[in-house]
Structure 1
Amino acid sequence: MLYLINGRKINSRRVIMRNWIKKFIQFNILLGFLFTVLSSTVFGMEEQINRAVVFPIDYKGKAFINGEYVSFNGDEKIYLKDNTTYVPLRLMTYLISNDEEHWEAQWDGAKPNEVVLVCTYMEKIDQGGWMNTGKPQTSIKLTVDSKTMISKGQMIELSATPKKINGRIVLPIRAIGEVLNREIAFKDGLIFISKEPLKLNDKQADAIINEIKERFWDTSKKVKKYKVVEDDEELIAAQNVNGKTYFNVVGYNSSSQIWIQKLYTQGEKGPVLLKEIKNYVSVREPFVEDVFYYGEEKQGQVVLNEYNLNTKQTRQIGELDIKGHDFSAIVKIIPKENKIYFIAHYGDYTMGGETLYVVENGKVEELTGAKQFGSIIIENGKIYYSNINFMGNPTNNLFEYDENSRTEKRLGEEGYTYDVNRRETLYSVANSLKLLENKLYTLGYLEQSDQLPCLYSIDLQTGATKKLSLPTSQFWIVNDKIYYIEATAQTLITIDLEGNGKKTLINKPIAQAKFNGKSFYYTLLSNNNDLAAGFYKYTLDTNETASLSSKRVKDFYIGSSKIGYITTGYDAGIYLIQDGKTIGIEKDPAYDYLFAGEQMIIINVKDNKLEILK
């Protein structure tokens, strides 16, 4: 059948098809609109709350600040008086601070009822995060029992007055929030501070709020904890050997007025003391595999010992004469075949320097020195190392030391700095030196340029240097392939050992990546360069990506049989993946943590006590 439309004969099937296509397009536009609305509702609420400050009216030292679950020392309380909520002064300044504004209170004892809140500028830096410039942005003056606030010489009327309760100045949170352009909301016993209004009256918000409330008020513990150290002790390091955890603790003995180092192991009812070391010297990395290294100062000598964690046997390694030297610490110990190498630091950590020694058959011998040793590789009588000198000339800092001839030569190109991460004015040790056959691989850049660090290879036979990669701060070498995180886009790229065959494997901005076995484990960055939700595994053999968690993961540990990860945000917690199952270990966030062998050791700080999860 034919239709006459605008003077043209049109086949009826074509008319029906056009109408169907038109409706299909309209339907998809509507569907896309609905998806956008739903997405902004479902995901937007979570992001809104992650950018807010949330804490309970029944405040007990815990709050969510910009998605981070934090704990405060002190005994601050929130008060309710005359239908007004009051927050202690210093707590208030912390809660209203954010990435862009830093608030602090200034109080003069001569004027006990007056306080000035000062805000300073915060500037975003390219490396991520914010920096306090110290430049005053604004200030406000408040007086107890007065509704008049003074800002920039102008008097502003508050809806409620500051008070003094139990000798402390407390501020009316809603009134202060109003003049500081903060949105203050209350729901289900929680207080919300945000820059934008929060939509707290929907099911998505209810689910998140219930999760937050559970964090604040759930006191149940699913795991057993051990008290490891007292108030006056500090946990230095931990190691796991054959399923048993060992702890290195340092404390001050007030009765004998000396510092004492202790080695504990994990027992059924708590820590068991194995060794107590008086007159100890600092060893920064005391655990190396299944050995605990420690030093004692005796009559101008540093006596270096090793304690085997398996056999429980102690052996003296050697003695270092430090008479007349400003000895500070042993910063690194490297066992290699029948020798033990160690690095000693002399002087303070700004102007001092370091020396590399070797111990063989109990005899200590000096080898070479550096301002600060970066990466160090010992292989076949050769020692390859970087000399890190941030306070002076950082260039020409890569060396090969021949242990047999006691000679040293410089590696790399003139004017280049190696094994250092540089981004604008920020510098850090990259620990990037890797040896493969007759070539060294490391990060490097021309100092007198704006070049970001790139990956270079250095032929140890010819001395030839070759640039292999785009700018990067992290790389791995696996099965004759190089994998690196490109510094600008933060994507994962692979190349061969000559820098050819460039291929992008993960085309999303990576926040953190670790390699284990044949897989990369990684988290991602969001569009605004914050940590995004999601924890992933990319397998090299299959080029497949698997999702391990939908939560925001701030750090993780990859073992041979299990994966531990720590989440942040309103659902912060500690989790283990084992035998394909995810197990929630702890709902409280980890304030600090160590990765020791096959075990992730979580340190929680409560009431100034240190505890470790078993």
Structure 2
Amino acid sequence: MKKTALAVLAAALWAGTALAPASAADSKAPASTSLKQAFDRTVILPYDFQQKVFIRGSKTDLYLDYKLVQRDSRVFVPIRLLGYLAGEVNRSGGTWETKWDAKRPNEVVLTNAALKKTIRFAVGSRSMDVNGKAVSIDVAPYKVNGTILLPLRSASDALDKEIQWLDGLILIGDDKIDPKLADTRSLIEPIKRQLADKRTRAEVESSTGLLARSGNTSYYYRAFYTASSTSEMLYRQKDGGKPVRIELAGQPVLSQAKVADGKIYFPTVVGGKPELHALDPVTGKAAKAASVSDWKPSDGWLEAVFKLEGQLFVNLHSGDNTMGSETLYRLDGGTLQKVVGGKSLMAYARAGDRLLYTDFRFMSMQPGNLKQVDLKTGKVSSIGDAAFTYGINRTLSEGGGVSYASNAKLVVKDGSAYSLGYEEADQTATSAVYRIPLAGGAQTKLTPPASDFWLEGASVYYVDRATGKLGQAGLSGGAVRILVDRPVFDVRMHGGSLYYRVLPTGTDARDGYAQAGDLYRYDLAAGRETKLSDQPALSYEVGPKGVYYVSNGYEPGLYKVGADGKSMAIVRDNVASTLLTDSGIVYTLTYKSGVFASGS
């Protein structure tokens, strides 16, 4: 479904961008932005379309066939697709909805609730209605084969978008690109080369899921799709060798596989009975880990397998997301022993014989959801402030709305638990980081409103909810300061440093869509920030083998950051997925079948 939606959306962008060249005089914005600065927020496609387009800084394949429509030296676009264009260029500006009434077949309306704007067009009319005001347009919309087409220039003006022609490239966005700047000219040929790529995606009716790597051998599964079923098969492949299928017992569900304690755990059904199996990547052998009762993979999914203080735990989800529930088990001696149940178990931490966890009841928020279970007696009790809800990102919108999201972060250190929390009854409260004494007593608020946090030494590091900036506070409260004075996202802690991505100025990092950004590292001990990526990073991996990032822009590839801070390309092609392990990085390519690896 995701692939289909992307194809439709991408095709919408293509159809919406067919246009004639725009002159500098037509623009109301100053010509001062380079294409490099605006690349990740500009839709770019070539006049000689090859089913490729850049959307939000990444090359995207278009699967639907839409043609440029030119008439009387003007370019027209199907109205039902134009709304996608305007919304995708800048998601922070809201989305456009197209409305058409069969009773009035020659009229169409575009509405944007966030911008409080309504635009009405009519076939044959050289006037469009913008929020009740008539605005003249130079050419009228017309209909062909039952589809209404708009003159793109007029529609773009109404949508407040910049439309430009640059050496055979069509640019659509909120920025006026200066064609004379060096950072504009230098991108033209690399962009053209990528958009002239005629290859099709390697995986359309199947997908590859990377699982693990041991030595020079990678493990992965292939899912094959038909109209009525999906089959999943496990493979191993040595570097430079051919894939070898691993025969597994029963009907394994490898898309639910989890890696823990050096093994690949997955559910399967053998003789009609569900079981949990584990494959050892060192030997390449799979064996039964435990029988499972009162649960089937078809009725839910394997939510998590993890190890805490030498003990393996398994979380099985039953039902759907809305009405379902979860049960946590301890894997001991080939059996699953029930530990505790809940609505949606999010985060876990261990304090001796006590297992702490948070329970996310998103249909009805309930305070007191930070709990502990005695692993010896099974007794469950709440900890923290009974008026608070923990482990939840609570966000208030300007319009008065409230949204909730789980945060799988729960840390136990020196007799206290650390979690995001807020007072449920306070309608103005948003989540912040709290220190909660395990022995009882008052909790301490450590940070301003925060969306995520990490503990290192005597400090808590957090992302400020309002600004997106990276901050630091003391574990005893106070000493709050900003470390990175600009919005960051995709933050991770590794080896005494924080890694994060930063978007170019003018781009919103909080709109919920994958975007490419510059990769940075902040050395906590030295108090120093270092830029790591030469290309915009769509994703990155950091671990014992180093720092890697994927760029899907005008110079696509998988890059490794060297000890000197410079980027080295492992492969110069579009990368579909990556998995960093202790034995190196494993990856798949968008336009070439197979699984590839690098131990360097």
TM-score (norm 1): 0.77
1:264 aligned residue (235, 239, 243): 235
1:8 matched to which residue of 2? Answer: none
User: Which residue of 2 is the match for residue 350 of structure 1?
Assistant: 322
3-state SS of paired residue (2:247): strand
Q: State the partner residue of 2:67.
A: 77
Contact (CA 8 Å) 1:326, 1:347: kept in 2 or not?
no
When residues 283 and 364 of structure 1 are mapped into structure 2, their CA distance, relative to the original with a 3 A threshold, is farther
What is aligned with 2:222?
249
Q: Following TM superposition, by how much is the alpha carbon of 1:476 offset from its aligned partner in structure 2, in angstroms?
A: 1.7
1:329 to 297, 301, 306: 301
Evaluate the alpha carbon distance shift between residue 319 and residue 519 of structure 1 in structure 2; reply closer, same or farther with a 3 A threshold.
same
> Larger deviation: 50-59 or 316-325?
316-325
Match of 1:546 among 512, 517, 530: 530
Residue 103 of structure 1 deviates from its aligned partner by: 4.3
| Pairing 1:595–2:595 present | no
C-alpha displacement of 1:416: 0.4
Higher Rg of the two aligned structures: 1
- Equivalent residue, structure 1, for 2:476: 498
What amino acid does structure 2 have at the position aligned with 1:119? Answer: L
Which residue is equivalent to 1:576?
560
CA 1:108–1:596 in 2, change beyond 3 Å: closer, same or farther? Answer: farther
**Are residue 185 (structure 1) and residue 175 (structure 2) matched?**
no
With structure 2 as the length reference, what TM-score do the two structures score? 0.78
Pick the aligned partner of 2:118 from 137, 153, 158: 137
How many Å separate the matches in 2 of 1:570 and 1:330? 39
Q: Give 1:473's match in structure 2, choosing from 443, 446, 451.
A: 451
How far did residue 526 of structure 1 move?
Answer: 5.5
Q: Counterpart of 1:443 in structure 2: which amino acid? A: L
**CA displacement at 1:612 relative to structure 2:** 5.3
- RMSD over aligned Cα atoms: 3.9
Aligned counterparts of 2:111 and 2:492: Cα–Cα separation in 1: 37
How far off its partner does 1:231 sit?
A: 3.9
Distance 1:610 1:90 in 2: 35
Corresponding residue for 2:54?
64
Structure-2 change in CA distance of 1:140 and 1:163 (3 Å): closer
Q: Percent identity?
A: 23
> 1 or 2 for the larger relative contact order (CA 8 Å, sep ≥6)?
2
Paired residues of 2:211 and 2:264 also in contact (CA < 8 A): no
Aligned to 2:267: 295
Separation in structure 2 between the aligned mates of residue 213 and residue 85 of structure 1, nearest angstrom: 21
Change in 2 beyond 3 A, CA 1:80/1:278: farther
What is the letter of the counterpart of residue 569 of structure 2?
G
Q: Residues 339 and 493 from structure 1, CA distance in 2 versus in 1: closer, same or farther, beyond 3 angstroms?
A: closer
Q: Distance in 1 between matches of 2:556 and 2:441?
A: 50
1:55 aligned residue: 45
**Residue by residue, what CA displacement relative to the aligned partner does 1:356-407 show, whole Å, maximum 9, x if unpaired?**
1223222332221011101022453321111111112331011111111121
Counterpart CA distance in 2 for 1:348 and 1:412 is 29
Q: Conserved in 2, the CA contact under 8 Å of 1:237 and 1:285?
A: no
Distance verdict in 2 for CA 1:178–1:384, change over 3 Å: closer
Aligned mates of 1:411, 1:366 — CA distance in 2: 21
Determine if the alignment matches structure 1 residue 483 to structure 2 residue 455.
no
> 1:10 matched to which residue of 2?
none
* Map 1:65-464 → 2, pairs under 5 A: 65=55, 67-78=57-68, 84-85=74-75, 87=77, 92-97=82-87, 98-99=89-90, 100=93, 102-103=95-96, 117-121=108-112, 123=114, 137-142=118-123, 151=129, 158-159=138-139, 162=142, 164=144, 173-174=152-153, 176-177=155-156, 182-194=161-173, 197-217=176-196, 231-252=204-225, 259-267=230-238, 268=240, 271-276=243-248, 278-281=250-253, 284-298=256-270, 301-322=273-294, 327-335=299-307, 340-378=312-350, 380-424=352-396, 425-449=402-426, 450-464=428-442
- More divergent stretch after superposition (401-410 vs 193-202): 193-202
CA distance in 2, matches of 1:156, 1:43: 30
Query: What is the rounded CA distance, in whole Å, between the counterparts of 1:175 and 1:468 in structure 2?
Result: 52
Q: Which amino acid aligns with 1:75?
A: D
Q: SS of 1:405's equivalent?
A: coil
Distance in 2 separating the partners of 1:137 and 1:418: 41
Q: Kindly tell me: are residues 194 and 314 of structure 1, through their superposed partners in 2, closer, same or farther at Cα, counting changes over 3 Å?
A: closer
Q: Which amino acid aligns with 1:210?
A: E
**8 Å Cα contact 1:301-1:322 kept in structure 2:** no
Segments of 5+ residues of structure 2 without an aligned counterpart are 1-29, 397-401, 510-515
